[in-house]
A = this chain, B = another copy of it.
Amino acid sequence: MIERRVADKIDAALLRNLIADPDMTHLALAEAAGLARNTVRARLTRYKDEKSLFSFQSRIDPAFLGFPLRAYVVTRVTQRKLTSVGEALAAIPEVIEVCGLSGITDLLVQVVARDADDLYRVAGSILSIKGVKRTSTGLVMRELVSYRIEQLIEKTG
């Protein structure tokens, strides 16, 4: 099995700076990190090939697209139908992520919606998938800690 490359000090410095300002120029990054311009360029290029970075889509706020509501739908599934349920979920646009969790026949489905009615509709379409036994929806009311990765960089290198 291929072992994935893990960030070193150089990567940490670059990523830290990019978080502060995603549009920093190669030269600015090089100075900030005390590196050569070509080194910066090599790393930045490498990130793509290695897929160390997610797609740009991860930066887009669903609210900006008109979906301000977010919810988690815990979905109990007939075990044999896991795959087909996964496919059916993928066919629902409002489903933005589906995770299979350990030791259970539950799926954790993250959805977005335009409003409360819309959410109700989406939850309904999940429940109507063949193989889904029951669902439990929890609307995200408050983000006590917003998605963050930054602090992990400090534990790198």
**Bound Cα distance from A157 to B32, whole angstroms:** 40
- Is A1's CB within 8 Å of the partner chain B? no
Chain A contact residues: over half helix, strand or loop, or mixed?
mixed
B144 A86 Cβ-Cβ under 8 A: yes
B65 A61 Cβ-Cβ under 8 A: no
**Bound Cα distance from A53 to B11, whole angstroms:** 23
Q: What are the interface flags for A99-121 relative to B under an 8 Å C-beta threshold, 1 for contact and 0 otherwise?
A: 11111101110101000000000
Contacting residues, chain B, for A28 (C-beta < 8 A): none
A selection of 10 A-B contacts at a CB cut-off of 8 Å is: A54-B60, A57-B149, A65-B152, A82-B144, A95-B145, A96-B149, A97-B143, A99-B144, A100-B144, A102-B141
